[in-house]
C-alpha cells in the first residue's frame, strides 16, 4: 500500500506517493508545530495539550498511518466521521456513542459510518499515555486531518480543546446531515444552519476525492431516473454502464464503489474534473456542476476553479476544515472527556 509523504505538521507535504513503514510514519519527528506561537480560535487552541499530553499528535498520526496501511479506504471513513460529527450538535464526539437511539444508527450513518475501531485504538493508546485528557471529539478532528495528509492532500493546524457530549442526537442526524439525494439549495441550507457558506459546500464535497459509496446511494441515477426509463442524462454513459454492472437493479445495496474513479485513494482535485466531465457518482456531487441553472449558479464556478487549480482547492479545503471543526464545540467544563469513546463516563 502506498501513502503520501508529509512534512511536519503545519508545513506543506510533498504530495508524492511512496512506500513507508509503520516504524517511520511521516511527520513524527516533532510536535504539532514548532516555532510560531500557538493559534487560538475562540476556546480552541493549537497547543491545548502542550503540557498535559504533548505526544497526542504523534500518537494519532502513527495510528492513522497504521490504519491506512491496512486499508486505504479508511482515510475517507475517518474524514467522514468528523464531518458527520460536526453537523449534529457541533464537533462533540456524539457520533461515537453506542446505543440504538444514537447518531450511529441514523439513516445517513447506518451501515455506512465506519472507523470506530480505529478511534478506539487511538483512544486506548492516549489513555495509557495521558489518562482522561484527550477528548474523543479532538481525536476525530486530528484523525481527519491526518487522513487527508497521508492520502496526498493538504495539512492544516488542528485546533483542539473540545470536550465530549453526554448525549447523541439521532433525529438531528436524520434531519441535519446532507443527503446524496438532496437538491443543491437544500444542501446549501443545511450547511448554512451550522455556519458554513456555499463555498464550503463545494470545498468540503471535495472530500469525495477519497473513499467509497454504497450502491444504494447510486441506483437512483442508474435506472429509470426520474421515471425516464434510462440513466441520469448528466451521468457519462460509459460510466453509467460500468456502474450498472457493479450495482445492478435490485442488487446488494451495500456493495461499494470508489467515489473518484480516476484516483481512488489519492486526495487531489480530480473530483472536480469528474463533475465537469459528467463523472460525479452521487447526485449531490454532480448537481454542483450540472444542477438546475439557478441553484447551481453559485457552485458551478467554484467547481471549475478547483478543477483547474489544485493549489487553490487544497488551500480552501484546509480553511473549510478549520471552520467546520469550529462548529459549536463543548469547552471548559461543558461535557466531559470520555474514557471510552463509545459510552458516557459513569461518574
Question: Among 138-147, 222-231, 233-242, 289-298, which is the least confidently predicted range?
Answer: 289-298
82 flagged as catalytic: no
Q: How far is CA 135 from the centre of its chain?
A: 18
Average confidence (pLDDT) over 120-126: 98
**Does 6 appear as a known binding residue?**
no
**Does 260 appear as a known binding residue?**
yes
At 261 the pLDDT is: 87
CA–CA dist 122, 144 (Å, integer): 13
Domain 178-322 belongs to what topology? Answer: Peroxidase; domain 2 (1.10.420)
Q: Which cell is 86 given?
A: 460536526
- 297-311 per-position pLDDT tens digit: 889 999 999 999 999
Q: Which residues contact 8 (CB under 8 A, 6 or more apart)?
A: 27, 29, 30, 33, 34
Instruction: Kindly name the residue from 15, 43, 82, 84 that is annotated as catalytic.
Output: 84
Model confidence at 220: pLDDT above 80: yes
Place of cell 451495500: 254
The answer to whether residues 265 and 72 touch, using CB atoms and an 8 Å cutoff, is: yes
**Does 88 appear as a known binding residue?**
yes
3-19+41-173: in CATH 3.40.50.2300:
no
Domain assignments of the chain as residue spans, ordered by start: 3-19+41-173, 178-322
Alpha-helical regions (H) of the chain: 56-70, 74-86, 116-129, 136-150, 170-176, 184-192, 198-205, 219-222, 237-246, 270-276, 283-290, 293-308, 310-325
- 47-87 per-position pLDDT tens digit: 999 999 999 999 999 999 999 999 999 999 999 999 999 99
Model confidence at 26: pLDDT above 90: no
Which among 235, 267, 261, 315 has a CA at the least distance from the CA of 78? 267
What does the mean pLDDT of the chain come to? 89
The packing angle between helices 198-205 and 310-325, to 10°, is 110
CA–CA dist 262, 284 (Å, integer): 19
Amino acid at each position: 500500500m502506498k501513502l503520501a509523504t508529509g512534512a511536519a505538521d503545519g508545513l506543506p507535504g510533498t504530495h508524492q506517493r511512496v512506500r513507508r513503514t509503520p516504524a517511520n510514519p511521516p511527520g513524527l519527528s516533532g510536535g504539532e508545530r514548532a516555532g510560531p506561537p500557538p493559534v487560538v480560535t475562540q476556546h480552541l487552541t493549537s497547543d491545548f495539550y502542550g503540557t498535559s499530553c504533548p505526544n497526542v499528535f504523534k500518537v494519532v498520526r502513527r495510528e492513522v498511518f497504521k490504519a491506512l496501511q491496512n486499508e486505504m479506504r479508511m482515510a475517507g471513513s475517518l474524514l467522514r466521521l468528523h464531518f458527520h460529527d460536526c453537523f449534529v450538535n457541533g464537533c462533540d464526539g456524539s457520533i461515537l456513542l453506542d446505543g440504538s437511539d444514537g447518531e450511529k444508527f441514523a439513516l445517513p450513518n447506518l451501515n455506512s459510518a465506519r472507523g470506530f475501531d480505529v478511534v478506539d485504538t487511538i483512544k486506548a493508546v492516549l489513555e495509557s499515555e495521558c489518562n482522561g485528557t484527550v477528548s474523543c471529539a479532538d481525536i476525530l478532528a486530528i484523525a481527519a486531518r491526518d487522513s487527508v495528509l497521508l492520502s496526498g492532500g493538504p495539512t492544516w493546524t488542528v485546533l483542539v480543546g473540545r470536550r465530549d457530549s453526554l448525549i447523541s442526537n439521532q433525529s438531528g442526524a436524520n434531519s441535519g446531515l446532507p443527503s446524496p439525494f438532496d437538491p443543491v439549495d437544500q444542501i446549501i441550507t443545511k450547511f448554512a444552519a451550522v455556519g458554513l457558506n456555499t463555498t464550503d459546500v463545494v470545498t468540503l464535497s471535495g472530500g469525495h476525492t477519497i473513499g467509497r459509496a454504497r450502491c444504494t446511494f447510486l441506483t437512483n441515477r442508474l435506472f429509470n431516473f426520474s421515471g425516464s426509463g434510462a440513466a441520469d442524462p448528466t451521468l457519462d454513459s460509459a460510466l453509467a454502464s460500468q456502474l450498472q454492472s457493479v450495482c445492478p437493479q435490485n442488487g446488494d445495496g451495500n456493495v461499494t464503489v470508489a467515489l473518484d474513479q480516476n484516483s481512488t485513494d489519492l486526495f487531489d482535485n480530480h473530483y472536480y474534473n469528474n463533475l465537469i466531465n459528467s463523472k460525479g457518482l452521487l447526485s449531490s456531487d454532480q448537481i454542483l456542476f450540472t444542477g438546475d441553472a439557478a441553484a447551481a449558479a453559485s457552485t458551478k464556478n467554484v467547481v471549475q476553479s478547483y478543477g483547474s487549480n489544485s493549489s487553490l482547492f487544497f488551500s480552501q479545503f484546509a480553511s473549510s476544515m478549520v471552520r467546520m471543526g469550529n462548529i459549536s464545540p463543548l469547552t471548559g467544563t461543558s461535557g466531559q472527556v470520555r474514557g471510552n469513546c463509545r459510552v458516557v463516563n459513569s461518574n
